[in-house]
């Protein structure tokens, strides 16, 4: 039994690194492993792409509706700050303008919105988003003299959201 223990101790005391085989030129991933990995990535991408595109289109129309809501709230604040009615009118399918108003009538005088408008005082909507024709007039107290609803449409997917201005001046985004 002692010779067995001696042989065991001699094996345990040796440096195992000296017994390793040298690295061969064949280390790394095999072609089959790479093909399987790429195939799995392709399957997952193909499976996830429709969901991603659906989310992207919904997010685009949601962002457009929130931008219109922000512009309407800006016009409301402008009416309160200047103590005079402000009309929000669509100047093209992808731009809107703030104008002065008298009662329930929009005037031709354009109000330049600092930081929002370009040189022609048009407020540009996000890309691929169009706006329905509606005119809303905010009174000097922030109420809407003329309430209305804007339909925001994604030009690519035709998804829509409605931005509603209540008589109280409250702006909401909904389906």
Cβ count near 170 (within 10 Å)? 14
Average pLDDT over residues 90-119: 80
Both tokens assigned to 166: 């209540």
Name the 3-class secondary structure at 88: strand
Name the 3-class secondary structure at 61: helix
| Residues found in the chain | 175
Tell me whether residue 43 is exposed, middle or buried, using C-beta atoms within 10 angstroms of its C-beta: 0 to 12, 13 to 18, 19 or more.
exposed
Q: Report pLDDT for 5.
A: 47
On whether the pTM is more than 0.75, the answer is no
Residue 42 CA to its chain's centroid (Å): 26
Contact criterion met (CB below 8 Å) for 106 and 146 = no
Cβ count near 3 (within 10 Å)? 7
What is the rounded CA–CA span in Å between residue 80 and residue 143?
9
At 21-80, the pLDDT tens digits run 655 666 788 999 999 999 999 999 899 998 888 888 888 899 999 999 999 999 999 999
Contact criterion met (CB below 8 Å) for 85 and 140 = yes
* 45-174 topology per CATH: minor pseudopilin epsh fold (3.55.40)
Cβ count near 42 (within 10 Å)? 10
Q: What percent of the chain has pLDDT over 90?
A: 32
Residue extents of the structural domains in the chain: 45-174
Both tokens assigned to 48: 């996830």
Residue 43, CA atoms < 13 Å, CB-side half-sphere: 6
């Amino acid at each position: 039994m002692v010779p067995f223990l001696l042989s065991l101790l001699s094996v345990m005391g040796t440096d195992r690194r000296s017994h390793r085989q040298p690295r061969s030129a064949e280390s790394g991933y095999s072609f089959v492993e790479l093909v399987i990995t790429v195939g799995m990535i392709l399957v997952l991408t193909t499976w996830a792409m429709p969901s991603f595109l659906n989310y992207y289109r919904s997010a685009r129309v949601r962002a457009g509706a929130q931008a219109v809501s922000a512009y309407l709230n800006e016009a409301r604040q402008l009416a309160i700050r200047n103590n005079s009615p402000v009309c929000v009118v669509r100047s093209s399918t992808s731009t809107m303008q703030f104008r002065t108003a008298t009662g329930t009538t929009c005037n031709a005088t354009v109000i330049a919105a600092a930081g929002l408008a370009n040189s022609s005082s048009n407020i540009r909507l996000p890309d691929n988003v169009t706006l329905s024709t509606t005119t809303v007039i905010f009174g000097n107290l922030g109420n809407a003299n003329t309430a209305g609803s804007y339909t925001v449409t994604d030009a690519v997917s035709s998804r829509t959201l409605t931005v509603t201005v209540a008589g109280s001046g409250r702006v909401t985004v909904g389906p």
